[in-house]
Amino acid sequence: MLNPNTVKDILAGMTNHSALAPIARHPWFVAPVLTRHEQFNAVGPRYTMVVPVFNQEALIGRFLEAHFTMAALPHDIIAIFDCCSDESLAAFWKGIADYASPLAGCVTSIVTHVPFFETACDNLGFVAAATDFIIEFQADMLMGTPAFDARLLSGLSDDRVFCVSGRCGHSLQTVYGQPKWPRSIGYRRAEREARIGLCGSLIEKQGSHVEDTGKTGYFSETVNRGPVAFRRQDLVTLNYLDHANFFLGDDDHDINLRAYLLTGRLPAYVPIKIGSDLAWGSTRKPRDPLNADIYKKLKARPDTSALFRFKDFYKPYCSPAPFTLPEG
């Protein structure tokens, strides 16, 4: 069971936690606050749902309705409201009251009073989670596959898999851009062939038409969050997402690369239906002056990440490779 006192201790002690300290060292840092914790049902949660939220008042109810309609496993929920300037927090708890199913265990809301951005908010939820598995969600993606959570976690039953995305998989070349070395001839075709699932704008056009009943997953060099499932112990081993270098994007590709280099395990894509519009995403929302100021300061930091350092050594090492999802 998720213990609210443990969460409060984590938030109060961020400066001393190796995965949370980078954000706590910024001069503008203000400790987040646990605003509410409710146990709805005495369930044995299989996973913790971690969802960072930035100004999603209009959508969060639809997100929760779709989630509880499609989820099949008992779970806890940790929602992190990142210096929202709208009524996202109230809309979230209304959505919980309206739509929460008997699968909902403990539901916790955390509020930041200065912008932390997605990477740090995810890490807050990951560190606070008390379950063996964690699924990270984005509030602008509406789940459309029945038992999508069981489907994602089934992929983690394969020891060769590091994490499982329900959105897409692709090569790191998509992240790095066109190489300068001679093998760049044919780059774009090779990059296209290394993509699988709802990459980019395909989530708008094809998200509701995915074939989601098969028993096949696909290894890739990297996969995207939203939703993405992890083993909690793997996150601990890798010291979580690297928010010393990332704050809004590419941290998922960095941790996938670090996992591969350390363990040889690859991320995987497991097809599920997702309804979304790119305009709903937090990165496309207007920024108030405080948000814009901290964004600019974080953007100016030097990049010393594993993802950046690996770029000069990178050669494609995995095309989408199918594997059979374990039963159960």
Q: What is the residue-wise DSSP string for 88-118?
A: HHHHHHHHHHHH--TTEEEEEEEEESS--HH
Highest mean pLDDT among 65-74, 177-186, 314-323: 65-74
29 in a domain, yes or no? yes
Nearest to 114, CA basis, from 294, 321, 255: 294
pLDDT of residue 325: 95
Q: What is the mean pLDDT of residues 169-174?
A: 94
pLDDT of residue 182: 53
284 in a domain, yes or no? no
* 112, β-bridge pairs: 82
pLDDT of residue 286: 78
Mean pLDDT of the chain: 92
pLDDT-above-70 percentage for the chain:
93
Q: Biggest alpha carbon distance in the chain?
A: 59
Whole domain around residue 316: which residue ranges? 4-278+289-324
Residue 191 banded pLDDT, cuts 50, 70, 90 = low
301 in a domain, yes or no? yes
What DSSP designation does 191 have? H
- State the total domains in the chain: 1
Side chain identity at residue 300, one-letter code: A
Stated pTM of the model: 0.95
pLDDT of residue 314: 93
* 268, β-bridge pairs: 164, 219
Residue 251: give its domain's CATH number: 3.90.550.10
Residue 37 banded pLDDT, cuts 50, 70, 90 = very high
